[in-house]
Amino acid sequence: MRTIVSIIIPCYNSEQWIAEAIGSCLHQTYSPLEIIIIDDGSTDDSLQIVRQYAAQYPASIFYETGPNRGGCAARNRGLALATGDYVLFLDADDLLEPETIAGQVAAADGRKNVVVASPWRFLQWTGKSWLEIAAPAGHIGDPLVAELRHGDYIPVQALLWPRDLVIALGGWDESLWANQDGDLRLRARLAGCEFVTSAQGGFIYRRYSSNTVSGKQTYRALESKIRVFEKVEEQLRQSDRLEQYKVDLACAFHRLATAAMTQNEELGDRALAHALRLGGRRSVHGTFKHRLLYYTIGLKRKERVVRWLTTTPVARMLGRSQLSVFRDK
């Protein structure tokens, strides 16, 4: 018998997209698949659309609904219901190309400590039409270094996971408000999981708005992002690898401190303290002007200057491209 793959879709108020997401799963060339949809207390017509598909494909689609508890809780519930040897977590507004699962299963080759990444790209809404944007190029070398030092990432929706591996990792951290996928991916890397790639199919990451929970730089989101790296530090310490990766982790904290300082100086200071403790001046990276201002007036004052510039006529005169040289990358 062929390996069963479970596709888990958390759904909250996604009536505009859920049918396309389900359709992209049904059109996979690989079988057998089970599509598990967890409706997270939707108040629009999402649940009605899911019910219609489940009635039409009762052997393939299973769904459950309940109160709104967040995407991580929905994914964990789907994981508990899954019977497949492998799982893929697809968001309700994203898409899979037909050959994606087939390519990933072939690359996994039955191994239980291997996570398989498919090709992926963005589909960005410009306000008038959809524009395809290639995925950012990754850095060569140790992938943990690339993720911490440079912010490289693979969307979790592009990854096929052995189900038992996700369970062994503890599933999704339901206390996090942002970067939950980065947390799971980093835990897997730190646990020694091998990440391999498939050249078939692809995941399409739809970006129709920046107004998402994970995209908003709210206090809860920023604090969660800091906690993800604090968890990484603790895991590195427990495995006696902190000395090896401490500067890379410091760069991650510094990058986050720069982003947080304009929104919440308390959290910016918290992330910066981690960066300086772990890496000192070696944690500072980015454009020459960013580093020059950092060394001259400090990150907090530097970000206040940049924030002031972006809210004055100077911003309109210089334009975003000119102001970007003051950022960390």
Instruction: State residue 162's pLDDT score.
Output: 97
Residue 119 CB neighbours (<10 A):
18
CA distances (Å), origin 176, targets 24, 33, 72, 73 = 29, 29, 8, 11
Cβ proximity of 86 and 159 under 8 Å:
no
CA–CA dist 272, 291 (Å, integer): 14
Instruction: State residue 323's pLDDT score.
Output: 47
Instruction: State residue 325's pLDDT score.
Output: 44
The runs of H, that is alpha helices, within 208-264 are 219-238, 242-261
Of 273, 239, 231, 232, nearest to 145 (Cα)? 232
Mean pLDDT of 224-239: 97
Residue 101 CB neighbours (<10 A):
26
Pair of tokens at residue 292: 């020059």
Share of the chain above pLDDT 90, in %: 75
Of 153, 224, 238, 156, nearest to 190 (Cα)? 238
Instruction: State residue 153's pLDDT score.
Output: 94
Cβ proximity of 34 and 114 under 8 Å:
no
Instruction: State residue 263's pLDDT score.
Output: 84
The CATH topology of domain 5-207 is Spore Coat Polysaccharide Biosynthesis Protein SpsA; Chain A (3.90.550)
Residues 274-305: tens digit of each pLDDT: 999 999 887 776 666 665 555 555 666 555 66
Q: Which helix (H) or strand (E) holds 61?
A: strand 61-65
Residues 157-181: tens digit of each pLDDT: 999 999 999 999 999 999 999 999 9
Question: What's the angle, vertex CA 261, arms to CA 259 and CA 266, rounded to 5?
Answer: 130
Domain range list for the chain: 5-207, 219-326
Q: How confident is the model at residue 144 (pLDDT cuts 50, 70, 90)?
A: very high
Q: Which amino acid is at 188?
A: A
Looking at every residue in the chain, the average pLDDT score rounds to: 89
Mean pLDDT of 300-329: 55
Rg for the chain, CA atoms, rounded: 21
Q: Does 103 have pLDDT greater than 50?
A: yes
Put the strands of the sheet holding 33-39 in their side by side order: 61-65, 33-39, 5-11, 86-89, 159-162, 114-117, 194-197
Residue 141 CB neighbours (<10 A):
10
Q: Does 239 have pLDDT greater than 70?
A: yes
What values do phi and psi take at 131, rounded to 5?
-120, 125
| 133 DSSP β-pair partners | 122
Burial of residue 238, with CB atoms counted within 10 A of its CB: 0-12 exposed, 13-18 middle, 19 or more buried: exposed
